[in-house]
Amino acid sequence: MSALFNFQSALMVLLLLICTSAYCHQLFPAFMDRKKGSPMWGILWKCARIGERLSLYISVCCVIFAVRLFIGA
């Protein structure tokens, strides 16, 4: 089943997108800030902002998903 039709997989993809964007923004801040006006880079820039500002909640969600994956539920 694709991630579009499975809610848990869609949440996992969204969390990974937020975490990856925040990490890339930490490595290349000037590049992402310069490109935030374009549609694709703008979405990644917004995901990076979410990851930076809500990092505690994002990390808790990542831990919950990791535990669920480890348990196999």
The pLDDT of residue 73 is 56
Looking at residues 8-23, what average pLDDT do you find? 88
Q: How far is residue 73's CA from residue 70's CA, in Å, rounded to a whole number?
A: 8
- pLDDT tens sequence across 33-72: 887 788 888 888 888 888 888 888 888 888 888 888 888 7
Q: Which two tokens stand for residue 25?
A: 């923004």
Contact 12, 18 (CB under 8 A): no
* pLDDT over 80 at 5, yes or no: no
The pLDDT of residue 36 is 78
Note if the pTM is more than 0.85: no
